[in-house]
Amino acid sequence: MKITGVRTTLLTGPSTNDRFLREARKRRSAAFIEIDTDAGITGIGETYAGYFCPEVVPSIVDFFAPILTGQDPSAVDELWQRMYHCGNFWCRVGLGVSVLNGIEAALWDLNGKAQGVPVYQLLGGTKHDRLRAYATGGPSNYPLDRLEEKANYYLSLGFTGFKVATGSYSTEGWYMPATPAEAADFEGAKLDFLRRRLGPDVAIMLDGHMGNSVGATWTLDIAEAACKALEPYNLFFFEEPLHYTDPWGYAELCRRTSIPIAGGECLTAAYEWRVFIERDAFDIGQPDASFTGSLSEFLRVANTLHQRGRGIATHAWGAGGSLMQNIHCGFAAPNTRILEVPPDFAGLHSEVLDGSFVMRDGYVQTPERPGLGIVLTDEIKARYPFQPGSGEFNSVPGKILRD
């Protein structure tokens, strides 16, 4: 079997059916890579870069396509190494390697389909019978009774845990605490309210979004004050309380609080992860199998964390391809604690998945379909035509995100 073609498909569709998330973000962009073969089998992968800067993905895929054309698609690691080396000056971390992630995922999908097995079998087999999932809920929709309504909505969908953000989002706009005392008071009151209303058994996670902050980025002192106020409330983890330019602060925060500190969704390539892992900067790493660099890089990150006694919680905020890539890697990794799942997904999630995602009693079931279990039909492509400018970004003067 030989590769005959490589192409990028950009799509734009609804972000979710979740009415709480849709208050802040109504649509998403997505970048899928399709690899054709002379055997009539097509592999499909997704790069999370398509959520932020979709317009640049096709040119990067076209740059690497000649390395793949005419080659045996079963040599996944060798082909990835060739592409990675070819982009050595600009692809070691960041955008280039995150696009490679989508290409490599398509190769694994192709091989799984050719062999009639799910991708996790090609990655060493499953390490879990099932994995707990949590609903990723974006902002904390305020006032507090609105936040309680949101939490109960996720529980009604079958989840046993959920994640919301620091600060709040309401008709008055975004709010983020900006001093140690303010952060301690605001976040402490929020978690006290949720615990009293929901009880002790629901898993609650808090996301600082400090890799993608809307307000002033927290210092170590602000993050520590918030953590100290939250310690009585049994957080499953506190995600991104600091910016990714501060691995030393992350490591120190891990030492100063009993709350598990999570992070890593913005990191690419195993060697960038080493900067954080070797400092024990995360109690729970959050690699993304559509962004970290490849499915194999995801597992290298997971295994390195495992060797240091740390767990992982997948990051999955791309479309349906991203979700399934992370699920397959989550089952293949030995230290997966929980899977991130966009709740009540629509459009570019539900139609791309086509029933391959199964959750029962709050746990994701082991995937059964060959490959990654995603589809990308002509009907889907026609239904969700790409809208330029639909990528998400951090608003700055001269470039303000409107949706």
Tens digit of pLDDT for each residue in 30-54?
999 999 999 999 999 999 999 999 9
Residue 264 gets the label, from left (phi > 0), alpha (psi -120 to 50) or beta, of: left
Distance CA 377, CA 381 (A): 6
Helix (H, G, I), strand (E, B) or coil at 114: helix
Q: Is residue 402 part of a domain?
A: no
Find, among 356, 317, 358, 310, the residue nearest to 333 by Cα: 310
Higher pLDDT, 310 or 212: 310
Q: Is residue 396 part of a domain?
A: no
Count of domains observed in the chain:
2
CA distances from 158 to 146, 247, 280, 322, 340 (A): 19, 36, 33, 21, 14
Average of per-residue pLDDT across 215-235: 95
Average pLDDT, the chain: 96
Q: Which two tokens stand for residue 65?
A: 């396509």
19 and 42 assigned to the same domain: yes
55 and 146 assigned to the same domain: no
Cis peptide before 247 (omega within 30 of 0): no
142 and 235 assigned to the same domain: yes
The range of the structural domain enclosing residue 277 comes to: 121-365
Tens digit of pLDDT for each residue in 141-170?
999 999 999 999 999 999 999 999 999 999
107 and 72 assigned to the same domain: yes
Tens digit of pLDDT for each residue in 352-396?
998 999 999 999 999 999 999 999 999 999 999 999 999 988 888
Find, among 267, 18, 322, the residue nearest to 163 by Cα: 18
| Segment (H or E) for 135 | strand 130-136
125 and 230 assigned to the same domain: yes
Task: Look at residue 349 in the predicted model and tell me its pLDDT.
Answer: 85
| Segment (H or E) for 336 | strand 336-341
pLDDT band at 177 (very low <50, low <70, confident <90, very high): very high
Task: Look at residue 305 in the predicted model and tell me its pLDDT.
Answer: 98
Average of per-residue pLDDT across 218-233: 98
pLDDT of 213 higher than 80: no
134 and 112 assigned to the same domain: no
Rounded (10°) CA dihedral 146, 337, 105, 391 = 20
| CATH code, 83 | 3.30.390.10
Q: Going by DSSP bridges, is the β-strand pair 261-263/284-285 parallel, antiparallel, or unpaired?
A: parallel
Distance CA 314, CA 194 (A): 24
Task: Look at residue 254 in the predicted model and tell me its pLDDT.
Answer: 98
Distance CA 199, CA 189 (A): 15
DSSP labels, 263-320? E-TT--SHHHHHHHHTTT--SEE---TTTSS-HHHHHHHHHHHHHTT-EEE----S-H
217 and 288 assigned to the same domain: yes
65 and 78 assigned to the same domain: yes
Task: Look at residue 358 in the predicted model and tell me its pLDDT.
Answer: 97
pLDDT of 98 higher than 90: yes
Distance CA 225, CA 179 (A): 9
Task: Look at residue 392 in the predicted model and tell me its pLDDT.
Answer: 87
356 and 230 assigned to the same domain: yes
Q: Is residue 390 part of a domain?
A: no
Q: Is residue 359 part of a domain?
A: yes
Tens digit of pLDDT for each residue in 69-83?
999 999 999 999 999
| CATH code, 343 | 3.20.20.120
Higher pLDDT, 51 or 403: 51
pLDDT band at 324 (very low <50, low <70, confident <90, very high): very high
Task: Look at residue 41 in the predicted model and tell me its pLDDT.
Answer: 98
Task: Look at residue 215 in the predicted model and tell me its pLDDT.
Answer: 65
pLDDT of 214 higher than 70: no
66 and 184 assigned to the same domain: no
Q: Is residue 388 part of a domain?
A: no
Q: Is residue 403 part of a domain?
A: no
pLDDT of 403 higher than 80: no
Q: Is residue 400 part of a domain?
A: no
